[in-house]
Every structure is written in structure tokens, then in C-alpha cells.
Structure 1
């Protein structure tokens, strides 16, 4: 219970361990520094044997709750477990609302975040990222309306639903400025929602003409219900998903990057992506890959 929301157990363990090692060193007439931390993780994390990973399981297939088992599953879960294995620790997933994830890693309630969260220059002001997947944003509509959207200009004057909590909201505003409203055409009417599922509901209830969300998320629902939605137009240039690390924690970032690189090199990474139909997003891990 204490493992979630506080680092007290780790700090206490580290302090006791240091005291015991110091006592042993005095008794033997020499200093015993113990075995080196081969994982590269900060000592307090390595010694705990667990890396706490913040996650909001509401973005299938990246992370979601399996209806049959009730377990949190998905691409990020599998990559995180493979990464933790390389680090020699156990992955502990700490479920949180999406809009609390960045603050949780910044304040130490979790060690890292892995939850389909895009690396952006704005977010880099408060946290660091280890990019690991090339996401893409996709326009989509109901199947019986998909034929209406044949060119970028066909979005002008239409009602578009998009989660205001994602960077897709800003991307669509830019799209409108470059294609519709900013070019003297009827502006896209944005319908901001609290989530991707709420945007889909706007379409289903025909309050919106078109919507935008993660191409990965959309592909999952297209397979689950192939007769409902259909992608339209070309994907937007999405931002890479990144493992979120506390700002300035270079040791954690380097350890995560090294472990993810090992997962890529041993073939596990590509196998996980291919299993979920997301092989197109493969990339090599890089720290703060999005530049101004």
C-alpha cells in the first residue's frame, strides 16, 4: 500500500542498507561498497526491485482493460515488461487519470510514465521523454459518410470532434489555419471532448461529421467493429510516444533508453508491435527526439 504515492519505503530501505554496509565496513576494518548497480537505474529504484510506471488504461491497443480478464493489457504493457526485464526489476503499473500522469512523475509518485503520451516541445519544459513509438493521428468518420471526405478542403465547414486533452487538438487547429479558416474557406468547427471515446460518441450520435484520434486507437476499434468507422484522408504528422521521465533525471533516461534499445535489438519490440498490427511505428529509442 505504501509503495503507491510515496517514496518513503525506498528511502528507508536505502538508508538502512547504507547503515548496515557502513557498520560491516567498520567491523572488518574496510569499506564494503556492495555490488555495482548494473542496470543503470537510480540506486533507490534498483534496490527496491520495482519500477513504478504511471498508466491510464484507456487507449487501446496501447493500454486498456481486457473485458474478459479485467487485467490491464496492451502494447505499452508488453514493452514495459520487456524493458523492466532488461533492467532487472519488476514493472508495477500505477493506474491514474491521464491528466495527472505528468505531475505524478514530476513529483515522484511514479518513477516513469508509459501511457501513449506524445513527446512535444511544450511538455519537454517540465518532463523528459525517451521516444519509442512513431504514432500518427487519423481523420475518420462513420462508414456511410466516409465518401464525403475526398480532399483536405472537404473538412472545411464541418464539425470535427477531438479530445482536448491530446496534442491532436492543437494539430487540428493548425490544420484549419493552413487549409480552411486561415485560407478564407469555412472554418472547421471544433467539438472538444474529454476523451477519444467521447469523440467517437459524437460521431455515433451524428453531432459531429468527422473526428480525429490516434491511428493506433482507431485501428483497434475498426477491427473490433469493422462496420462502424472508416478512416479518411491522409494521416496527420503525429508526435512520437515517449516514456516520460522526471525533468533532468539523466540517469533514469539513460537507463530506460539502454533497456529499450536492448528490447529492440533482441527482436521483442518488433514482435510486440506486429502482434498488435502496429509495426509501422517502429523506431529506435531517443531522448527528447522532438525538436523546436
Structure 2
């Protein structure tokens, strides 16, 4: 998720690649008995759910633990702000436990750093504000690393709105359009949305892409954009026939296509666009934490834990080979 309007476009994906990635996500959905389309309670903002699932944290005093700020070493916890309603990246399973790609990566980082990562639920468009106010130590929520976010610039107005954040990049994803299954309304790409209605999650690249495309529509008619607090609400609206299409990050759209209504509700149309890195957001004045996270991420990539997690969630196409700081454009 992101608020960046102009990033590089991905190379076109073949239908074979799309189908194989969706199938991989589907296999996980069956094997792991996950929540259908997934949803976190957006009002449950005070919940702290440890991302760590198995094993024990490395003993304090190890090399990576010593890289952390003393305050975090003392409390043994990294507080994570996250919109826990974005399967398969982060969501709640049937028992109410926070699961997904991000919690698993966070747990692996915690093992290396000798601390626990505790996820706290919040709406996506407030996470950076929560980071600035010290409510969270980091924000980890399928958040795309962009220059605007790094510099604290509102992507729509171009105005400076804050000091910005740093990112430790850990994954790459593009954006997809999806429609009701068997009823694509002639939509194959973003220009086909002119004169139609799309549902999106507020504050995401999907919303900004729709706004940018709408300005180009001319005589075809503007795009009607309905933005929601979370992606599940957007899916519900489309499922009920209240829009022509929806848009989300590719892993999320693929998961919805495979799981919603047993795979009978939605279909992806066209190719994913706007490939960009997901980053763990850290306050600009917390470079020590940023660098410790980078070192831990490089370690789990090196020791193979990262690959195990990526493969578990069926998103190998988005894997990175090294941790980068502020690699977004």
C-alpha cells in the first residue's frame, strides 16, 4: 500500500505467471485454513499481538541485539503499527491471531535481534502519524517505500507535511485491477476505467492511480472513486455490485480472487503495474533502529529463513536478495 502516484511500471506479466502465483496463494489458503478474505478489527487499536510464533528469541547480548537502541533492548519489544486487514500480508485468522507475511518476517527479525515484535492494529493512513508520535517504533503494513514518504511530502498536493521516514525494504509488489468473476465490464487496463466506478482502500497507490487516470479520461468521463478504510470493505462493495472494479496490491488481489466465495467472486484483469518495494518505516531520528533492522533482514536472507517465509505465503516473485534503505523511487 502506498500513496505514490508516479513509480516505474512493471514489465508485463504473462497469464501463466499470474495463474501460477494465484495458485500458490490458493494452496496456502487451503493448507493453512485461513480467514476468507481476512479482516482485522480496525477499532481494536490497543491490541498488541506478538508476531513471534515459535522458538525463543536470541539471548540479549548477541551481536545484532547490541545494534538496537538501548531503550528497545531494555524493554525487549519492538512496537509495530500495522493495518491488520490485508491478507496475505497481515490479517487475523479464525482464532483472532495476527498472521501473514509481515508478522512472519517480523518474528524472524525478532529472533535475530533478541526481541519480540508486537503488532498493534490501526488504519493504514494513520500509521506514519503514529510513528511520528512515538506510538509505534516501526510501521510494517505492506507500505511501499516512496520518495514522497521519505521526504514527508503529500503525493497529491506536492506539499511538505512532515519530516518523512526511512525505509528498510524487504519485498516488491505491483498493483492489480480485479472485477467480479465473469463480468469484467470490458476493463483490461487503467484507461478502461474511464466512465466507470472503482473501489479502493484509502491512502493506497490504487486510489492515487485512479485519481491520476481520471484526469486523463477526457470525453470518456471521469472515474468514480469510492475509497474505504480497509480493503475488505472495498471487496464487499464490489461483491455486492456497487462498483465495476476494485484495485489492490497484487498479492492481496490474488488472495481475494482465490479465496473469496471459494474462488467464485473475483477475477484479476490485465497486468500488474507500479512495482515498488515494501518497506519497514522508521522515524528519521531513529537511524540506529533502522540499521539494526537492515542487518537482521540481511541475516535472515543469508540464512534462508526469509525464503522459507516467502515460499510459505506463495509470493516468491516479490522476494528481494538484499536489504536496502530508502530504495524506493
* Pair 1:255–1:191, CA change in 2 (3 A): same
Shift of 1:231: 0.2
Greater displacement, 56-65 / 196-205: 196-205
1:288 aligns with: 326
Aligned residues: 255
Q: Is the contact between residue 163 and residue 196 of structure 1 (CA under 8 Å) also seen in structure 2?
A: yes
User: Is the partner of 2:144 in helix, strand or coil?
Assistant: coil
Give, in whole Å, the separation in 2 of the partners of 1:48 and 1:221: 38
Give per-residue Cα distances to partners, 1:233-267, cap 9 Å, x unaligned. Answer: 11121432111101232111111111111111111
Pair 1:211 & 2:246 matched: yes
Pair 1:104 & 2:104 matched: no
2:276 aligns with: 239
Pair 1:72 & 2:98 matched: yes
Say what the alpha-carbon RMSD is for the aligned residues: 2.2
Question: TM-score scaled by structure 1?
Answer: 0.80
1:164 aligns with: 202
Q: Is the contact between residue 257 and residue 265 of structure 2 (CA under 8 Å) also seen in structure 1?
A: yes
* Pair 1:66–1:37, CA change in 2 (3 A): same
Structure 1 residue ranges without an equivalent (≥5): 6-34
Shift of 1:186: 2.9
User: Is the partner of 2:81 in helix, strand or coil?
Assistant: strand
Give per-residue Cα distances to partners, 1:103-160, cap 9 Å, x unaligned. Answer: 2221222211212122222222222111111121110000121272245543221111
Shift of 1:36: 8.6
Q: Which has the larger radius of gyration?
A: 1
Pair 1:260 & 2:286 matched: no
Q: Is the contact between residue 81 and residue 127 of structure 2 (CA under 8 Å) also seen in structure 1?
A: yes
* Pair 1:131–1:151, CA change in 2 (3 A): closer
2:264 to 227, 238, 241: 227
Give, in whole Å, the separation in 2 of the partners of 1:53 and 1:194: 19
1:193 to 218, 228, 231: 228
Shift of 1:211: 1.1
Give, in whole Å, the separation in 2 of the partners of 1:49 and 1:175: 46
Question: TM-score scaled by structure 2?
Answer: 0.72
* Pair 1:151–1:121, CA change in 2 (3 A): closer
* Pair 1:290–1:150, CA change in 2 (3 A): closer
2:107 aligns with: 81
* Pair 1:198–1:45, CA change in 2 (3 A): same
